[in-house]
Chain A
Amino acid sequence: MKGGGFRIYAICYLIFLYAPIIILPLFAFNDATVIAFPLSGFTTKWFAEMTTQPALGQAVKNSLIIAVSASVLATTLGVFAARASTRYDFPFKGGIMGLIMLPLVLPEIIVAVSLLVVLLGLGVNLSILTVILGHVLICTPFTIAILSSAFQSLDRSLEEAAYDLGETAVSTFRLIILPLVMPGIISSLLISFTISLDEFIIAFFLAGTEVTLPVYIFSQFRFPQAVPVIMALGTILVGMSILLLTIAEYFRRRGLARSGAKDTGGFL
């Protein structure tokens, strides 16, 4: 076995990383209102109880609308910026791309309060729409990171061949480039969807009276008797995001294989 000591350490580290996710389903199926050990018995009633809460249904609906819109918009903006930065050189490219990528490191609370101040100053009513605006801002850098590697691995000569055969810039993009980067686009849609669905702070500040799923979950933490239902909900959410990420990873790798690039791993 290669790297004995390191391997044991890395496995312990993975256990540390997965500890909360492993514990989550234990409490989702535990027949007790108190979230503590020892466990008392098996039940599925918390899952059944989820369906009796209309506020939860509304939150899920809001979150889905926000996540779908934000991921489509962010990926569209990401395609433009990733294509521009990988294909062309222009003055102030570093500064412009730096500004676009800034939300990657900027604390989300800063994004949230600055948008809040401006939107209220302009007299815009807080709603689902304002949350979408904020989420597009934080998802775009991730889409650019994914899409840049997809565009980077494109062979320039394919594009030149299309021009030589009489295609215009637009038809070349549609017929040659788009199909080649499609796996990257799907992967970027899925990642943005996951980020938006999970985002709390911006939704907390910008949603007004509308409630998104994380805002709903956060409000329920105040009521101890509501927590087992949240554990059941969390189990479903974690299962779903693992599924989405696995699909995203599959497309990302297929995209790399299609353009013949070396896999450097990871989304980030």
Chain B
Amino acid sequence: MELGSRWDRFRRSEAASGYMLVSPTALYAILLLAAPLGTIILYSFLTDGYLEIVRTFTLANYHEAWTNELYRTVMLRSLGVSMAVTLVTVVLAFPVAYFVSFHVDPSRKSLWLFLITIPFWTSYLIRVFLWKVILGFNGVVNSGLMGLGIIDEPLTFILYNVNAVVITLAHAYAPFAILPIFVALEKIDRSLLEAGQDLGESRFMTFLRVTLPLAMPGVIASVLIVFIPTIGDYVTPQLVGGPEGRMVANLIQLQYLKLDNYPLGSAIAVSAMGIVTVVSLLFLFLNRRYLKGPKS
């Protein structure tokens, strides 16, 4: 009796309605996201046999992924590229977010944001290919600079290497960086800035001591939202990176689709995700004082 009425109470409770509603989406995510992620973690501990996967537990794939010279170089390069892209993107994006939040008339803010997001939604492949055209031997940058007489010979260090990958990815992830910073800046109470200046701080010092710390949650969000996906980008290194610009996604694709070595491919994928997670957590830890929210 007791149990029955408790069940009845649960069924009519808010929690039960919430679970009922969220369950289709949650089940989908569990079946097609959580379970597959679990599976590749499992695969990374198995052995690749001829035509089938041997079900014996091993750490050999991780040993291979972490000690093989080639894999280690690519992994470190991916990490470096991701960090560079994140730094460039966030530093370039901050002034734009600041401008839109502080200097644009409120009625035109959404127009600016719309203009910033449009390029992000247009064919990614074609945008990356066009960077090849812009940075190439006879490209826009080279013919422009030669036309102006600044250089005599086309620059070759801007295509088919890591630089090209960084430029192209920084372009692709720009809106991702601007929006979280913009949202954080919008939340800042403008009277705090006036107070800062009334108390005799210069505009620059007010920015450093009031605006920037309050905008940090947005900056942290942009850093993570750019850093985590860029490490797994496949198209950009493939098209503009050349042999020296290959990243971890190209390696994973090679293992899965060309060499058919699922366990090693999984070990590389899991290692990359592990590194990303550790770096992100470290970054959050170092910035923990900005995330505590307003002091009471």
Contacts and interface: CB of A to CB of B under 8 A. Distances in A.
A84 B102 CA distance: 35
A56 B130 CA distance: 20
Contact of B134 (A19, A102, A241): A19
Contacts of B29: 99-100, 102, 137, 140
Contact of A100 (B25, B39, B43): B25
Interface stretch (A20-28, A44-52, A155-163, A181-189): A20-28
Nearest to B105: A2
Contact of A267 (B17, B96, B98, B117): B117
A99 B33 CA distance: 8
Contacts of A140: 25, 28-29
Interface in A18-46: 18-21, 23-24, 27, 34-38
B77 interface: no
Nearest to A266: B113
Interface of B: 14-19, 21-26, 28-30, 32-37, 39-40, 43, 92, 95-96, 98-100, 102-105, 109-110, 112-119, 121-127, 129-131, 133-134, 136-140, 143, 171, 174-176, 179, 182-183, 186, 224-225, 228-229, 231-235, 239, 249, 252-253, 256-257, 262, 265-266, 269, 273
A170 interface: no
Nearest to B99: A6
A113 B103 contact: no
Contacts of B175: 17, 268
Contacts of B183: 264
Nearest to A83: B21
A54 B97 CA distance: 45
Contacts of B233: 107
Given A109-B249, A217-B125, A90 B15 contact: yes
A80 B126 contact: no
Nearest to B229: A107
A9 B119 contact: no
Contacts of A144: 25
B225 to A, nearest CB: 6
A214 B122 CA distance: 12
B18 A117 contact: no
B26 A253 contact: no
Given A109-B249, A241-B121, A89 B256 contact: no
Given A99-B30, A116-B256, A268 B117 contact: yes
A3 B234 CA distance: 39
Nearest to A107: B232
A78 B26 CA distance: 10
B136 A198 contact: no
A116 B136 CA distance: 35
Interface residues of A, number: 91
A102 B126 contact: no
B51 to A, nearest CB: 13
A104 B224 CA distance: 11
Given A90-B18, A201-B234, 15 more contacts: A9-B99, A17-B174, A20-B119, A36-B137, A37-B140, A81-B26, A88-B18, A90-B19, A104-B225, A105-B229, A109-B252, A111-B36, A237-B122, A241-B123, A266-B110
Contacts of A100: 25-26, 29
A249 B114 contact: yes
Contacts of B23: 80
Nearest to B126: A234
Chain B binding surface, main DSSP class: helix
A110 B266 CA distance: 9
Contacts of A115: 32, 36
Contacts of A23: 130, 133-134, 140
B96 A9 contact: yes
Interface in A68-99: 76-78, 80-81, 83-85, 87-91, 93, 96-97, 99
A164 interface: no
B131 A20 contact: yes
Residue among A37, A107, A234, A268 with the highest chain B CB neighbour number at 10 A = A107
A9 B91 CA distance: 13
Given A113-B40, A117-B39, A117-B40, A10 B95 contact: yes
A102 B143 CA distance: 43
A36 B102 contact: no
A93 B18 contact: yes
B128 to A, nearest CB: 8
B32 A268 contact: no
A77 B28 contact: yes
Contacts of A2: 103-105
18 contacts: A2-B105, A3-B99, A3-B102, A13-B95, A27-B133, A84-B18, A84-B21, A88-B14, A108-B234, A113-B252, A137-B29, A144-B25, A227-B129, A241-B122, A241-B123, A253-B110, A264-B183, A266-B113
Contact of B18 (A89, A102, A265): A89
Contacts of A177: none
B126 A109 contact: no
B130 A105 contact: no
B98 A6 contact: yes
A114 interface: yes
